[in-house]
Amino acid sequence: MKNKSFAKLLSAFSFSTLGDGLTLIAIPWLSSSLTDSPFLVALVTASMSIPWLMFSLHVGVMIDKYDHTKLLMLSLYSRVLLLLILIALIIMNAISISILIIFGFLLGCSKVVFDSTSQTITPDVVPEEQLEKANGWITTVRLTMSDVVGRAVGGILITVSIITPFIFDTLFLVIASYFIFKLNLKPHVATNERKKLELREGFRFVFRDNNLLLAITLIGSVVTFVFASTVATQIFLMREVLNLSSFGFGLIISVSTVGSLLASNMITFTSKIDLKLRLIISLLSYRQRITPKPLLGRVGGIVRLFSLGVSPLGMLFGGGIVAILSSHMSRDWAIRTPNLILGGTFIIICFFLLFLFTSSSFHEKRSA
């Protein structure tokens, strides 16, 4: 895509998500070095996702009201400050599980603002006919830089020192802020409605005006919940069951992302398929198209509340299940249990989606 504005946004997103990958591999490893309790480690991991549950709606309103560039810069610089303080605490050997929970929560808050805002401004920097391609690039970059490169490199950096991933994350955030600073966005037109009315309008659009968007959002919530239950305890699966080093941990996480990466690239080959069918693999583009621009932030916040906000609940569920089952069966099998639940849930959802998208009622909606 020959679009300078989108190239700057993508560059900022690339460096930011690369840093995310480093920190997301380092914090669970650090927490598992401080405690062998699956629930406490799950609590640390969940603290980074809890802001999606608590603030998705409020951030959505903020995006519709305030300047997007300022929101992006604020989120990046706040993360830089938090990481510098965290590095200092680790060097002084003043780190603990409770401190990690606090920092995980604060880092998660800044990430909610950055990710939500960057998704909302995509339609402003690319033409409508290129939305699928742009979102495909963003998804590919997120999966590649955070879940593939970031996790693998983070595993290597941990072998040098536990603070090394955090140092590189800080540097990458500074670079990302440079590209955001160079990004020329259109002047933002703020809404003047009261927050309660603003949220009500967004909920009305998702829950009453588009049943298909609602259905797939709820399915995404279930998938996120059960997947998060495995994320919270996977550090113990890697360290205790598979006996992997930090590099092996990062490598396994990286390899598991390849399927998602291939799926995101399928988007560019589906431009001639009906829009509602295309939303199976490109819901983001579908939502951006059907949502009026003044509502993009709020609708995005509501969708993320259900699709990402359940993540910390799933993590606590996974950690709690392992902690409870460890007293009734071998610890190895207790650690494996969330993954077995995930596999069974995926099978059920696949059959449900097959029924949904082959039903006569769905085809009637497509032909309407």
Condensed to tens digits (0 to 9), the pLDDT of residues 50-95 reads 888 888 778 877 887 788 888 999 999 999 999 999 999 999 999 9
Confidence of residue 275 (pLDDT cuts 50, 70, 90): very low
3-state secondary structure of 49: coil
Q: Which has the closest alpha carbon to 155: 48, 234, 250?
A: 250
Pairwise pLDDT comparison (241 vs 131), residue with the higher score? 241
Give the C-alpha separation, 102 to 125, whole Å: 35
Task: Give the distance from CA 204 to its chain's centroid.
Answer: 24
Mean pLDDT of the chain: 79
* Confidence grade of residue 205 (pLDDT, cut at 50, 70, 90): low
Tell which wins on pLDDT, 107 or 126. 107
Give the pLDDT confidence score for residue 173 in this predicted structure. Answer: 96
Q: What CATH code is carried by the domain that includes residue 108?
A: 1.20.1250.20
Task: Tell me which of 80-84, 141-145, 226-230, 331-335 is least confident.
Answer: 141-145
- Report the run of H or E that residue 291 belongs to, with start and end: none
Within 10 A of 207 (CB to CB), how many other CB atoms are there? 13
Q: Is pLDDT of 363 > 80? A: no
The answer as to whether 188 is a domain residue is no
The torsion angles phi and psi of 66, rounded to 5 degrees, stand at -115, 165
Give the best-scoring range by mean pLDDT among 22-26, 148-152, 169-173, 328-332: 169-173
* Residue 276 confidence (pLDDT) above 60: no
Report which residue type is found at 72. Answer: L
For residues 10-24, average pLDDT: 91
pLDDT given for residue 162 in this prediction:
93
Q: Which of 312, 270, 283, 296 shows the shortest CA–CA distance to 217?
A: 283
With respect to residue 168, please indicate whether it lies within any of the assigned structural domains. Answer: yes
Q: Kindly provide the residue ranges of all beta strands, DSSP E only, lying in the chain, ordered along the sequence.
A: none
Q: How many domains does the chain have?
A: 1
pTM (whole model) above 0.75: no
23: domain range? 4-183+194-367
**DSSP one-letter code for 238:** I
Residue 189 lies in a domain: no
Q: Would 333 be classed as within a structural domain?
A: yes
